């Protein structure tokens, strides 16, 4: 009770000075179980995702300082297997805005909490189809690019080069499988041919023997233009490049990769976002950082334009024609009104440069060329956003 009085007193002081609108958000991270990988070269940063939301918080605060608006961001960082639902309940009890860095099952469970009914949740990690399809939730926006969007971006880039005969090697994890499925569906969608598929099965330590093992493993693949690799766990793919039987480029999870964000982006003002991020976090910006940045900036943009911190008001604005987010990818970003997915270009990159930015020129769509990437309205079983159509 005492804290209530205190809070009310603070509000009065704020109101007396300047009627300030405050938006409080929570970043809830449920860490994934550690995964064994062959190489230790590229550890995942501890603050992956969180750092992106923090940068957007700073961006929002600067804008807010001119408008009498401010933002807060609490971070709840959970170890694998922790009780995310209780943590989400606690967070939603203080603020109705949740940035959720968790797997698809957790996203759906959190969205279904009674406490989340009037909340706005941004899913910044899960790329799964289910969240864009029959498992969508009306209170969940998706800022991470989906497996389908990434696969479509890659296929567009390959098709314009007429590299249309593809072989596919898939790893064993659920993420590997999901990305492989998306690649196959996208190849069918755009008329490319997957001439052979193989499951990754080598158990050798490829750090020492890749040059001996990989040629044998790839020797029986029929001729192809490009070798696709689905290795979302970042385990073996790095050892396939330059070790294949046939001299072929690799793409997918390695080599030429479709991503939500990459350090090699510099056009469209991206260089400024990269340098602000590196100044803040002393590392390069990753796709999850970008998705979290976009989520927090979406809230900022919506509050800037509506001068409201009410979730229903913001949701309506975010789904309206008025909403557009400048996302440093050369086109305005907006949300799909059939499943809450953030519409965005998907760069196809190699480690040193941008190869192509999808939608690739020539891929047309009756509504918006960005909708050539990922689940289109007719393909998605999601109907929960129907009120906004």
Could you give the strand order of the β-sheet that contains 193-199, starting from the edge strand earlier in sequence?
A: 193-199, 165-170, 226-230, 250-252
For residue 62, the minimal CB distance to another protein (Å) is: 5
CA angle 224, 228, 233 (to 5 degrees): 160
If you count them, how many residues does the chain have? 389
Q: How many residues bind another protein (CB under 8 A)?
A: 22
Could you say whether residue 370 binds another protein (CB under 8 A)? yes
Residues of this chain, 282-301, that bind another protein according to CB under 8 A = 301
Give CA–CA dist 195/379, Å, rounded. 25
Over the window 190 to 219, marking each residue x when it contacts another protein by CB under 8 A and - when it does not, the resulting string is: ------------------------------
Query: Applying CB under 8 A, which of residues 198, 276, 283, 337 lies at the interface with another protein?
Result: 276
Residues in contact with 97: Cβ distance below 8 Å, sequence separation at least 6, in sequence order: 23, 24, 25, 26, 119, 120, 122, 299, 311
For residue 215, the minimal CB distance to another protein (Å) is: 40
Residues of this chain, 12-41, that bind another protein according to CB under 8 A = none
Based on CB atoms, which residue is closest to another protein, 61 or 113? Answer: 61
Based on CB atoms, which residue is closest to another protein, 228 or 303? Answer: 303
If residue 234 lies in a helix (H) or strand (E), which one and from where to where? none
Residues in contact with 295: Cβ distance below 8 Å, sequence separation at least 6, in sequence order: 53, 56, 99, 122, 124, 141, 143
Residues of this chain, 38-97, that bind another protein according to CB under 8 A = 59, 62-63, 66-67
Based on CB atoms, which residue is closest to another protein, 23 or 370? Answer: 370
Over the window 319 to 338, marking each residue x when it contacts another protein by CB under 8 A and - when it does not, the resulting string is: -----xxx---xxx------
Distance between alpha carbon 294 and the CA centroid of its chain, in Å?
9
Cis amide bond preceding 359, omega within 30: yes
The residues binding another protein (CB under 8 A) are 59, 62-63, 66-67, 269, 272, 275-276, 279, 301, 304-305, 324-326, 330-332, 368-370
């Amino acid at each position: 009770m005492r804290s209530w009085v205190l809070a009310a007193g603070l509000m009065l002081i704020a109101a007396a000075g300047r009627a300030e609108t405050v938006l409080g958000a929570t970043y809830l991270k449920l860490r994934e179980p550690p995964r064994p990988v062959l190489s230790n070269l590229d550890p995942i940063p501890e603050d992956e995702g969180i750092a992106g939301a923090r940068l957007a918080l700073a961006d929002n605060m600067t804008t807010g300082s001119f408008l009498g608006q401010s933002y807060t961001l609490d971070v709840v960082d959970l170890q694998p297997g922790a009780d995310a639902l209780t943590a989400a309940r606690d967070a939603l009890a203080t603020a109705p805005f949740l940035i959720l860095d968790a797997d698809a099952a957790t996203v759906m469970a959190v969205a279904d909490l009674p406490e989340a009914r009037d909340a706005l949740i941004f899913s910044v990690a899960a790329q799964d189809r289910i969240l864009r399809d029959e498992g969508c939730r009306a209170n969940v926006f998706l800022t991470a690019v989906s497996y389908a969007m990434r696969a479509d971006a890659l296929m567009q880039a390959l098709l314009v080069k007429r590299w249309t005969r593809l072989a596919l090697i898939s790893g064993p994890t659920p993420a590997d499988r999901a990305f492989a499925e998306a690649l196959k569906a996208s190849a069918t969608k755009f008329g490319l041919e997957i001439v052979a598929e193989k499951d990754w099965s080598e158990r050798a330590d490829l750090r020492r023997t890749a040059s001996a093992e990989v040629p044998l493993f790839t020797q029986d693949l029929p001729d192809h233009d490009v070798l696709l690799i689905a290795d979302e766990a970042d385990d073996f793919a790095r050892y396939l490049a330059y070790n294949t039987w046939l001299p072929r480029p690799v793409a997918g999870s390695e080599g030429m990769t479709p991503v939500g964000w990459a350090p090699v982006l510099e056009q469209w003002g991206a260089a400024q976002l990269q340098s602000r991020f590196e100044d803040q976090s002393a590392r390069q910006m990753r796709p999850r950082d970008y998705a979290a940045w976009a989520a927090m900036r979406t809230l900022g943009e919506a509050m800037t334009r509506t001068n409201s911190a009410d979730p229903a008001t913001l949701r309506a604005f975010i789904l309206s024609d008025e909403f557009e987010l400048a996302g440093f990818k050369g086109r305005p970003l907006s949300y799909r009104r059939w499943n809450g997915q953030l519409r965005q270009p998907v760069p196809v990159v190699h480690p040193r440069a941008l190869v192509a930015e999808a939608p690739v020129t020539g891929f047309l769509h009756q509504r918006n060329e960005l909708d050539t990437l990922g689940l289109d309205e007719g393909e998605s079983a999601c109907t929960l956003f129907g009120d906004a159509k």
